Amino acid sequence: MAAPLGKRMLNYFDLRTPLRGPRGDFRAAGTGTGWAWQRDLWPLVVYAAGIAGVLAKQWYDAYQQGQMLDLQPSTFILAVVVSAVTFPATYHSLQVESKPGLQLFLAIQNGFFWQTVLGQIMR
């Protein structure tokens, strides 16, 4: 039997599984690998990379139509909201990657292809 929708949503946004960041695994704060501020800020860097990916997609779509990108507040709001919805999927998919450059690239890619990521989340 499937869990209720509310429980599934809470599980989706649960980020208790730590993300591997630059300088190794940040699961244990006292292991001597990495500093606490890196451990705490790395997910925000990954989230910002997702926002950059959404904004890059907006720019690319405007470029394909021969238009200039009109940076309205709604563009930033879209990027922040879409990134917030797709971030848990990105976050958990990066658990197996240890190289920070690759993590950032994948976060930007997930932001750029946010419609596909959102479609996979909705299934």
What gap in Å lies between CA 13 and CA 67, rounded to an integer? 36
Specify the pTM.
0.70
Give CA angle at 35 (24, 16), nearest 5°: 70
- Tens-place pLDDT, residues 22-69: 445 444 333 445 566 667 788 888 889 999 998 999 899 899 999 887
Q: Using the structure block, give the residue that is written with the tokens 């907006």.
A: 58
Residue spans of alpha helices (H) in 1-123: 5-12, 36-64, 73-93, 100-112, 114-122
Using a 10 angstrom Cβ sphere, with 0-12 exposed, 13-18 middle and 19 or more buried, the burial of residue 68 is exposed
Tell me what percent of the residues of the chain surpass a pLDDT of 90: 10
